[in-house]
Amino acid sequence: AVTLTAFAPAATADPITIRYAHFGANRGGMGDNMNWFKDQLETRSNGDIRLDIHWGGSLGAPADVPRVVGAGLADMGTIVSSYTPGLLDLYEVGNQLVGPSNLWVAQQAIYELATTNDAVKQQFAKNNLEYIGNFNAGAVQLICKAPLTSLDQLKDLKIRTGGPYTDVLKRMGATTIAMPQTEVYQALSTGLVDCNQIYHLAIEGFRQYEVAKYVVELDFGLVMAYGIIMNKDLWGDLTEDQRKLIREVADDLNARVVSDHLARVGSAKAKLSSDEKEYQVIYSAPPAGMLDQIKKHGASLADEWIESVNAKGLPAREVADEYQALIEKYQADFDKNGYPWEANKGTN
Amino acid sequence: MDPTTLAIAVLVGLLILLFLRVPIAFALCTVAIIGMFLIFAWPAGQPFNPGRALRPVQAFLGTDPFSFIKTYTFTMVPLFIVLGHVAHRARFTTDLFYAIRILLPRLPGGLAIASVVGCAGFSSISGSSMACASAMGRIAVPEMLKFGYSKSLATASVAAGGTLGSLIPPSLVLVIYGVFTEQSIGKLFVAGIIPGAISVLAYVVTIFLWVRIKPNAAPENHITSTSSEQIKAVLNMWPITLIAVVVIGGIYSGFLTATESAAVAAAIAIIIGFLLKRLSLEAFLEALQETAYQCAIIFVLAIGAKLMVSFVGITNIASDLVIWTTEQNFSPALVMLMICVLYLVLGTFLDAIGILLLTLPLAVPIIESLGYDLIWFGIVIVKLIEVGLVTPPVGINVFVIKSVVGDSVDLNQIFKGAAIFILADLVVLYLIIVFPDISLLLPKTMF
Amino acid sequence: MIRFRFSGRSAGNTPVERAVGCVEQVFLKFSMLTIVILLALICISVLGRTFFNWPIPDDVVLAENLMPVIVALPFAYATARRGHIEVEVFTSWLPQQFLKPLSAFAHLLALLIFSAILWCVWIGVLKDLDSGQYYEGELALPVWPAKLVFVIALALFCLRLLMNLCEDLGLKKAPEIQQPSEHLS
Ligand code: NA
Ligand code: NA
């Protein structure tokens, strides 16, 4: 008989240190999420699994993370699919400008899709990647220098955009400008752009409220293809217990990132809309008809996107349908039960 | 092999290669790649197994150099270099320096002082020290050499002046720092103004003293002129004045981003040059050719510097040093001193932005917990890592100047001259650290 | 000061050398042209945005992708002129016959290192072609072309490093064009 121990990978018995590539800083919401993930892995494994986070993209630019992790330069990493469109098309279904506005619903739907759908998993595997968990950046908002009160204003506005919103806002008459988020502060302050597409929390992080005071709460357009990937070989080398533990932490990460995000958005809005001279940001709903137009153009863009991915021989239609079905399932669950963390608060 | 030993071995290897006259770019690439290879082939406590390193190193080499040269903000570098060459060939800069000679005939080292002030002006349109040094190197160094300035003074004053690029707003380094630490970028920019001005002053005093002690370094200027000649000289400066007005005006009124300003400035210089018939097609092509040549030299070097940063990053040695510093129960002042020394040491062989990425995630929480102001620390850090741009063995600004002057000036002549300016930098650093209000006075007036 | 003559042809002792020199010139001119394109791209986009509400779509992505063309294509040209910056202070007192082996050593190192980089980036090109990865933006520009330019530039660079190595080892004579720079002031 073959002795299995001779072939067992060396890594399984010893404590392992996972080298993690993260593009962002060790601060703010994402920094806390990353540190939470690290702490949970380390405490629940009694130190058998250690996470060595390399911040600030020092192990690879955001666009290089899939290759860097697939090759084992890093063992795990944060993937932002909008930096690598075309690489993991089927996972990118979570970035299309359709779907829910409810973060918790979207978070559960994309997580279930990426952990269970064979086609999605296969595309990760093809890049020697194992999908582990999901983050999210929240819904897209606009921050503007002046109030946005009617749709007609759009044609006079220069808006810094990215992703599907570029096409959508252009179709709605705006002038769209591409620019790194780090340059936007100055561009807003000088009036080079009138508005910027951004997430609630990034307004605070990039301090754009200092130079633009009007936030139009579109609250639509979730970027969900944003998660944790691991080197597939290393994943295979882990013991069954280690894999189970990582999955459990990733499961719990879902509730953690969403509840934390909502709490942070709440306090950021409270802070930025306060009377303090530094803040005084005014939050308002989008002008009448704007969301309908966005949804209309967004849906047709999503269709075009599905066609183009189908043309590559990938089952984009099926994956998109399954994602929608999952969204409906979790929306129904949410309508009935609300947020689990709030329910727990009630019963305890 | 444990990472610390490896990192030390790599540094020693780098010095040996440089000693053996291996071009700096090749030496950096070689040791960084070997270091990266050993990290994976020979992890601490495990046997040597080269096969294990192949795929990670392949991914490293397949991504790191390419992603690095393809960075948007680096588009400034070739554009500012073109601007420098065109302004030189169309003699706009000759007019500028002629006017300075005529207006300030008695000032010892007047052209060097003018160059430093010119660097400060350039810094207010360029966000990067490398871009600043490359354009001013082309503009100012030949003028100084032409009038008999010592090679050391002529090159070092521009290498040092170039470091103002990150201190005087706009500044890429401060933007990265602001994003990392969630500090107001606007406040950081404003905080850099007075320290920037003090640095200019310190450089001017340095040049003044240098020339006083060694009068040969800057031959006396015997030019005499009438007031009408002076007025004419000032009026002749209009092309360069126009470029400055359009670009600075464009940035501050919102037509241009800092990156775009480089293209617009170069375009205006080219157009005026052709319209005034001071730039022939041949001269323009020569300017482009020199720019391409210089970009190649600078970016091979920068790739080497980037690979080195990635290697040091994966060893965790920079963050380990930061943690070690704080675990020694030193007083806050001593921790601060240790961190300054650490940044100066890292600056000798690592690139500025690389240092920020490697150290900020750990250094900033520590600084914050000690009760220091993060805006102030940002200015201190910029000043510290800018010193690294002119220290051997890896001094990017010095290399940039060297790529302009070619064989006519020895690399160590530039480093030697820069050492004198580093003394001035240390004085300025001391002032910035001891009197935080130098940085914080202006931001406090905001909001 | 280094000052270049704007001469199209380069000399060489063998047809291979002349061919490589020729390709170097062509690459150099591509780089020069691309500098002008970059400049025009940004200026036109600024003008379009300011006066016509029409910036060039994906101008940032386009500008980024021009960078490898500008900086990498002249690698070989600069190396042919032995322009890479060295620390001379330790070795400047050595007689000429000791410098040749040192230079050969440096070129051998560089040849090994940059062929490795070339190979690894080429694998990246194949991966990008296979996945169809592109840049986010209206034009959905594919990732591979700029990377391929980088590979081609590195290939010529490596060839030139090999030729410099042969020269240092005395296997071939240095062509006349090695001293193109005249020193001003
Ligand atoms: Na600046
Ligand atoms: Na240095």
- In tens, the pLDDT along A153-180 reads 999 999 999 888 999 999 999 999 888 7
Q: How many residues does chain A have?
A: 348
Residue given tokens 């009197």 in the structure block: B435
The encoded tokens of residue A145 equal 């220098």
**Disruptive mutation site among A82, A87, A129, A153 for chain C (greatest number of C CBs within 10 Å):** A87
For chain B, give the secondary structure using H, E and C. Answer: CCHHHHHHHHHHHHHHHHHCCCCHHHHHHHHHHHHHHHHHHCCCCCCCCHHHHHHHHHHHHHHHHHHHHCCHHHHHHHHHHHHHHHHHHCCHHHHHHHHHHHHCCCCCCHHHHHHHHHHHHHHCCCCCHHHHHHHHHHHHHHHHHHCCCCHHHHHHHHHHHHHHHHCCCCCHHHHHHHHHHCCCHHHHHHHCHHHHHHHHHHHHHHHHHHHHHCHHHCCCCCCCCCHHHHHHHHHCCHHHHHHHHHHHHHHHHCCCCHHHHHHHHHHHHHHHHHHCCCCCHHHHHHHHHHHHHHHHHHHHHHHHHHHHHHHHHHHCHHHHHHHHHHCCCCCHHHHHHHHHHHHHHHHHHCCHHHHHHHHHHHHHHHHHHCCCCHHHHHHHHHHHHHHHHHCCCCCHHHHHHHHHHHHHCCHHHHHHHHHHHHHHHHHHHHHHHHCCHHHHHHHHCCC
Across chain A, where does the E strand assignment appear? 16-21, 49-54, 76-80, 129-134, 140-144, 158-160, 175-177, 195-199, 214-216, 226-231, 282-284
The encoded tokens of residue B83 equal 């601007």
Is A346 part of the contact surface with chain C (CB cutoff 8 Å)? Answer: no
State residue A279 phi and psi, 5-degree precision.
-105, -95
Q: Which residues from B are below 8 Å from A211, CB to CB?
A: 186
| Closest-approach residue (CA) in chain B for C106 | B22
Cα separation, A179 vs B73, in Å, equals 11
**Disruptive mutation site among A80, A84, A127 for chain C (greatest number of C CBs within 10 Å):** A84
Same domain, B248 and B148: yes
State residue B381 phi and psi, 5-degree precision.
-65, -45
Same domain, B110 and B227: yes
Cα separation, A244 vs B187, in Å, equals 47
From B32, B55, B70, the end of a domain falls on B70
Q: Is residue B134 part of a domain?
A: yes
Q: Do the Cβ atoms of A254 and A133 come closer than 8 Å? A: yes
Q: Which residues from A are below 8 Å from B357, CB to CB?
A: 55-58
Q: How far away is chain A from the Cα of B178, in angstroms, using its nearest Cα?
A: 8
Flag whether pLDDT at A4 surpasses 60. Answer: no
Note whether B142 contacts C185, CB cutoff 8 Å: yes
Note whether C49 contacts A175, CB cutoff 8 Å: yes
Note whether C4 contacts B17, CB cutoff 8 Å: no
Note whether A72 contacts B357, CB cutoff 8 Å: no
Note whether B66 contacts C121, CB cutoff 8 Å: yes
Note whether C2 contacts B282, CB cutoff 8 Å: no
Taking only residues 428 to 447 of chain B, the set having a beta carbon closer than 8 angstroms to any beta carbon of chain A reads: 447
Flag whether pLDDT at C37 surpasses 70. Answer: yes
Note whether C61 contacts A167, CB cutoff 8 Å: no
Q: Region A46-75: what's the mean pLDDT?
A: 93
Residue given tokens 């070739």 in the structure block: B78
pLDDT in tens, A205-260: 788 998 999 999 999 999 999 999 999 999 999 999 999 999 999 999 999 999 99
C106 closest CB neighbour out of B26, B286, B393: B26
The encoded tokens of residue A86 equal 């075309």
Q: How many CA atoms lie within 13 A of B88 on its CB side?
A: 26
Q: Which residues from B are below 8 Å from C83, CB to CB?
A: 293, 296-297, 403, 406
Cα separation, A199 vs A184, in Å, equals 13
Note whether B56 contacts A73, CB cutoff 8 Å: yes
Q: Residue C8: its pLDDT value, please?
A: 42
Q: Residue B368: its pLDDT value, please?
A: 80
Q: Residue B51: its pLDDT value, please?
A: 93
Flag whether pLDDT at C1 surpasses 50. Answer: no
Q: Which residues from B are below 8 Å from C77, CB to CB?
A: 292-293, 296
Note whether B71 contacts C89, CB cutoff 8 Å: no
Ligand nearest to the CA of residue B344, numbered in listed order: 2
Q: Is residue B332 part of a domain?
A: no
Q: How far away is chain A from the Cα of C123, in angstroms, using its nearest Cα?
A: 11
Contacts of B16 (CB under 8 A, 6+ apart): none
> Coil, strand, or helix at residue C90?
coil
Q: Residue A307: its pLDDT value, please?
A: 95
The encoded tokens of residue B437 equal 């209000």
Q: Which residues from C are below 8 Å from A175, CB to CB?
A: 49, 53-55
Q: How many CA atoms lie within 13 A of B446 on its CB side?
A: 18
Flag whether pLDDT at C9 surpasses 70. Answer: no
| Closest-approach residue (CA) in chain B for A209 | B184
Tell me how far the alpha carbon of residue A235 is from its chain's centroid: 23
Edge-to-edge strand ranges of the sheet holding A76-80: A49-54, A16-21, A76-80, A226-231, A129-134
Q: Residue A344: its pLDDT value, please?
A: 62
Note whether C133 contacts A85, CB cutoff 8 Å: yes
Flag whether pLDDT at C177 surpasses 70. Answer: no
Q: Residue B253: its pLDDT value, please?
A: 76
Q: Is residue B343 part of a domain?
A: no
The encoded tokens of residue B361 equal 């995630």
Ligand nearest to the CA of residue B170, numbered in listed order: 1
Ligand nearest to the CA of residue B164, numbered in listed order: 1
Same domain, B31 and B97: no
CA distances B201 to A152, B384, B386, Å, are 53, 18, 16
Q: Do the Cβ atoms of A210 and B190 come closer than 8 Å? A: no
CA distances A52 to A75, B205, B287, B320, C164, Å, are 10, 47, 48, 12, 43
Query: What chains are in contact with C, requiring at least 3 Cβ pairs below 8 Å?
Result: A, B
Q: Is residue B312 part of a domain?
A: no
What is the biggest distance separating any 2 CA atoms in chain A, rounded to whole angstroms?
Answer: 78
Contacts of A109 (CB under 8 A, 6+ apart): A100, A323, A326, A327, A329, A330
Long-range contacts (CB closer than 8 Å, 24 or more residues apart) made by C148-151: C149/C68, C149/C69, C149/C72, C149/C73, C150/B65, C150/B66, C150/B69, C150/C68, C150/C72, C150/C121, C151/C118, C151/C121, C151/C122, C151/C125
| Closest-approach residue (CA) in chain C for A301 | C138
Same domain, B55 and B97: no
Residue B166 CA, ligand 1 centroid: distance in Å: 5
Note whether B365 contacts A26, CB cutoff 8 Å: yes
Q: Which residue has the higher pLDDT, C49 or A344?
A: C49
State residue A130 phi and psi, 5-degree precision.
-115, 125
Same domain, B226 and B125: yes
pLDDT in tens, A321-335: 999 999 999 999 999
Ligand nearest to the CA of residue B131, numbered in listed order: 1
Residue A181: which pLDDT band, with cuts at 50, 70 and 90? confident
Cα separation, A34 vs B358, in Å, equals 17
From B35, B70, B105, the end of a domain falls on B70
Same domain, B3 and B21: yes
Q: How far away is chain B from the Cα of C150, in angstroms, using its nearest Cα?
A: 8
Q: Is residue B253 part of a domain?
A: yes
Flag whether pLDDT at A193 surpasses 70. Answer: yes
Residue B387 CA, ligand 2 centroid: distance in Å: 7
Note whether C85 contacts B292, CB cutoff 8 Å: no
Note whether B186 contacts A210, CB cutoff 8 Å: yes
The encoded tokens of residue A279 equal 């803040």
Within a 10 A sphere around the Cβ of A65, how many other Cβ atoms?
27
Beta-bridge partner residues of A283: A215
Residue B239 CA, ligand 1 centroid: distance in Å: 22
Same domain, B259 and B193: yes
Q: What is the average pLDDT score of chain C?
A: 86
Q: Do the Cβ atoms of B205 and B116 come closer than 8 Å? A: no
Q: How far away is chain B from the Cα of A30, in angstroms, using its nearest Cα?
A: 12
Residue B15 CA, ligand 2 centroid: distance in Å: 13
pTM value is 0.88
Flag whether pLDDT at C183 surpasses 70. Answer: no
Q: Which residue has the higher pLDDT, A344 or B288?
A: B288
Cα separation, B3 vs B44, in Å, equals 7
Note whether B406 contacts C83, CB cutoff 8 Å: yes
Cα separation, A273 vs A185, in Å, equals 19
**Disruptive mutation site among C86, C147, C164 for chain B (greatest number of B CBs within 10 Å):** C86
Contacts of B402 (CB under 8 A, 6+ apart): B155, B409, B411, B414, C85
pLDDT in tens, A197-220: 999 988 887 889 989 999 999 999
Q: What is the DSSP letter of C184?
A: P
Q: Region A110-115: what's the mean pLDDT?
A: 97
Q: Is residue B321 part of a domain?
A: no
Cα separation, C76 vs C2, in Å, equals 17
Note whether C46 contacts B255, CB cutoff 8 Å: yes
Q: Is residue B185 part of a domain?
A: yes
Q: Residue C136: its pLDDT value, please?
A: 87
Is A310 part of the contact surface with chain C (CB cutoff 8 Å)? Answer: no
Q: Residue A345: its pLDDT value, please?
A: 57
From B50, B70, B90, the end of a domain falls on B70
pLDDT by residue, tens only, chain B of 447 residues: 788 899 899 989 998 998 898 998 999 999 999 999 999 999 888 899 999 999 999 999 999 999 999 988 788 888 888 988 898 889 887 888 888 878 888 888 988 998 998 888 878 777 778 878 888 888 889 889 988 999 999 999 999 999 998 898 878 788 778 877 777 777 888 899 999 999 999 999 999 999 999 988 888 877 788 889 889 988 988 988 888 888 778 877 777 877 788 899 899 999 999 999 999 999 999 999 999 998 999 899 889 988 988 898 888 888 787 778 777 777 888 888 888 888 898 888 887 877 887 788 778 877 887 888 999 999 999 999 899 999 988 888 999 899 888 888 888 899 999 999 999 999 999 999 999 999 998 888 765
Same domain, B159 and B88: yes
Q: Do the Cβ atoms of A138 and A199 come closer than 8 Å? A: yes
Taking only residues 43 to 102 of chain B, the set having a beta carbon closer than 8 angstroms to any beta carbon of chain C reads: 57-63, 65-66, 69-72, 74-75, 78-79, 82
Q: Is residue B100 part of a domain?
A: yes
Same domain, B102 and B171: yes
Q: Which residue has the higher pLDDT, B5 or C152?
A: C152
Q: Do the Cβ atoms of B353 and B173 come closer than 8 Å? A: yes
Percent of chain A with pLDDT over 70: 95
> Coil, strand, or helix at residue C142?
strand
Residue C176: which pLDDT band, with cuts at 50, 70 and 90? low
Cα separation, C156 vs C167, in Å, equals 16
Q: Residue C55: its pLDDT value, please?
A: 86
Q: Which residues from B are below 8 Å from C183, CB to CB?
A: 406-408
Q: Region C60-87: what's the mean pLDDT?
A: 93
Same domain, B87 and B215: yes
Cα separation, A129 vs B166, in Å, equals 39
Same domain, B400 and B262: yes
ipTM above 0.85, yes or no: yes
Q: Residue B432: its pLDDT value, please?
A: 95
Note whether C77 contacts B264, CB cutoff 8 Å: no
**Disruptive mutation site among C123, C127, C129, C136 for chain A (greatest number of A CBs within 10 Å):** C136
Domain interval for residue B48: 1-70
Cα separation, B325 vs B341, in Å, equals 11
Q: Residue C178: its pLDDT value, please?
A: 44
Is B254 part of the contact surface with chain C (CB cutoff 8 Å)? Answer: no
Q: How far away is chain C from the Cα of A167, in angstroms, using its nearest Cα?
A: 7
Q: Region A266-275: what's the mean pLDDT?
A: 93
Within a 10 A sphere around the Cβ of C170, how many other Cβ atoms?
9
Q: What is the average pLDDT score of chain A?
A: 90
Long-range contacts (CB closer than 8 Å, 24 or more residues apart) made by C35-38: C35/B78, C35/B79, C35/B82, C35/B288, C35/B291, C35/B292, C35/C70, C36/B288, C37/C66, C38/B75, C38/B78, C38/B79, C38/B263, C38/C63, C38/C66, C38/C70
Same domain, B15 and B108: no
Contacts of A319 (CB under 8 A, 6+ apart): A90, A93, A113, A117, A119, A120
Flag whether pLDDT at A346 surpasses 60. Answer: no
Cα separation, B118 vs B139, in Å, equals 9
Contacts of B309 (CB under 8 A, 6+ apart): A58, B350, B351, B354, B355, B357, B358
Cα separation, C117 vs C112, in Å, equals 9
Q: How many domains does chain B have?
A: 2
Flag whether pLDDT at C27 surpasses 60. Answer: yes
Q: Do the Cβ atoms of C77 and C27 come closer than 8 Å? A: yes
Note whether B170 contacts A186, CB cutoff 8 Å: yes
Query: What chains are in contact with A, requiring at least 3 Cβ pairs below 8 Å?
Result: B, C
